[in-house]
Amino acid sequence: MFDLTGMTALVTGASGGIGSSIARSLASQGARLALSGSNGDKLRAFRDQLNEEVGGDHVEITCDLSNPDSVEQLVPAAIDTLGKLDILVNNAGITRDGLMMRMKDEDWDAVMQVNLNSAFRLMRAATRPMMKAKFGRMISITSVVGTTGNPGQMNYAAAKAGLTGMTKSLAQELASRNITVNCVAPGFIRTAMTDVLPDEQKAALNGKIPMGRMGEGEDIGAAVAYLASKEAGYITGQTLHVNGGMVMV
């Protein structure tokens, strides 16, 4: 079940904590990946590691998602390298946190460009080849704060909520073409950034989660692999919340 053998995928932010878990999950199910990120050295190192650990012939494509021209070239480059594109995973994201009254225009614009605008451009670019193939899976990584909001993250929460609305609209446009469009919304996930938090802060965060612990990157990777599979072909326009029960919607 959830066999992705013969399928291809483009994953943005692929060398990051959650992105690398998504990539490993898809690759372990048999998909061939185009790994994208802005740090070429880090991306190549992860590609080599993935090829060694999981097997396959995965490739890397460096792309600066803050540059619209580079974004427009990413899907064509992935198709040229992989031969086709079955799965698009919009995972890359940045934060520029700050209270609204102090938030600068450039902080708002930077988050919107990387977290929302680039996803729009990538999904637009993937639509035509997926329609031609009469198959496709588009999956965007949102966040629990796109549903709840979060003080100091007005720009980030707005971008993630925008991804959800964009997903629902595109899902309706493409459903008849056997293309599904969904989101995965992580809650608190253990990453290198959370590992350095003081124990008291970790305990406070865990206290908000009914399961009593943060999630792992593998939890997000598993959710993405499921939504990418043929078995999830009747699920579209949905957000799969992976948060240990912290927010139940």
Tell me: the pLDDT tens digits for 101-139? Answer: 999 999 999 999 999 999 999 999 999 999 999 999 999
Q: Which two tokens stand for residue 159?
A: 């971008």
**Numbered residues of the known binding site for NADP(+):** 91, 156-160, 189
Residue 215 has pLDDT above 70, yes or no: yes
* pLDDT on residue 224: 98
Which of these is catalytic: 156, 220, 229, 236?
A: 156
Residue 195 has pLDDT above 90, yes or no: no
Reference 227, options 188, 185, 184, 189; nearest CA is: 184
Q: Which domains does the chain have, with CATH numbers?
A: 8-242 (3.40.50.720)
Q: Which two tokens stand for residue 59?
A: 């490739």
pTM reported for the whole predicted model = 0.96
* pLDDT on residue 192: 76
Residue 184 has pLDDT above 70, yes or no: yes
For CA atoms 190, 51, 4, 183, give the dihedral sign: positive
3-state secondary structure of 148: helix
Of the ranges 72-81, 130-139, 203-212, 219-228, which one carries the lowest mean pLDDT score? 203-212
Q: DSSP letter at 139?
A: E
86: amino acid identity, one letter: D
**Numbered residues of the known binding site:** 91, 156-160, 189
- Cα separation of the two ends of the chain: 27
Residues 12-49 have pLDDT tens digits of 999 888 999 999 999 999 999 999 999 999 999 999 99
Task: Spell out a b/e string for 15-35, using b for 16 or more CB atoms within 10 Å of the CB, else e.
Answer: bbbbbbbbbbbbbbbebbbbb
The reply to whether 226 belongs to the active site is no
